[in-house]
Every structure is written in C-alpha cells, then in structure tokens.
Amino acid sequence: MFGTGRYELFKAIDETHSLNAAAKKLNMSYRAAWGRLKASEERMGMKLVERSKGRGMYLTTGATMLLKQFDQLESAMGTFLQKTGQILSSSIEGKGENRSVEKHANNFDSGD
C-alpha cells in the first residue's frame, strides 16, 4: 500500500536528494527508510529512485507521477468528505427535503 507515510518519505527524498537526510527529516532511522523504499519499489514493480554522483538521490519519472496521482487522490477524497459532511449535516438538521447519502451518492464528481 502507498499511503501518507510513504508519500512523505518520497517527498523528503525529492527535497533533500538523500535517503539519510530524508530519514532524519522524518525522525526515522536510515534502516526504516531504506526498508520502506525497497518495499515500495517491490510492490510497485519499478524503481522509484535513482542515484547520481552530481545529483544525489532523485525520484524517477514513475515516482514523480505516483506522487502527483497521490496528490489528486487526496484532493478528491477531501472533496468527497466535504460533500458527504454537507449531506449528512443537512439530513441530520432536517434542512430542506429529507435527503440520504445513498440518494446523492452519484452526485460526487471528481471533476469539481
């Protein structure tokens, strides 16, 4: 699974160009960061970082795309939760017509 913790690790690698510096920034051991990096690469079936003498450690194109997709997922989830909260609040408070989450489930559009 790729969640917030892995996202933060890869963002820190992108910022610091170093696994050691990224681990320190996130208050984790180098070994833990290395293990998460390797496990993520195995799960994704692709390299997520490369090393270069001039650039240090940097994200591959695939990793950069993965982070962008994660950002979009987080944004869509935020929109979904906000809309769900509004529907539930409206139903609980009895404002307007009696609405249910099921009735409006198809109104969630990720394009908002």
CATH number for the segment(s) 4-60? 1.10.10.10
Query: Is residue 87 helix, strand or coil?
Result: helix
Q: Is the pTM of this model over 0.85?
A: no
User: One digit per residue, pLDDT tens: the chain, 112 residues?
Assistant: 678 899 999 999 999 999 999 999 999 999 999 999 999 999 999 999 999 988 899 999 999 999 999 999 988 888 889 888 888 887 776 654 445 555 555 555 544 4
| Tokens (6 digits) for 83 | 């809309």
- How many CB atoms are located within 10 Å of the residue 33 CB? 21
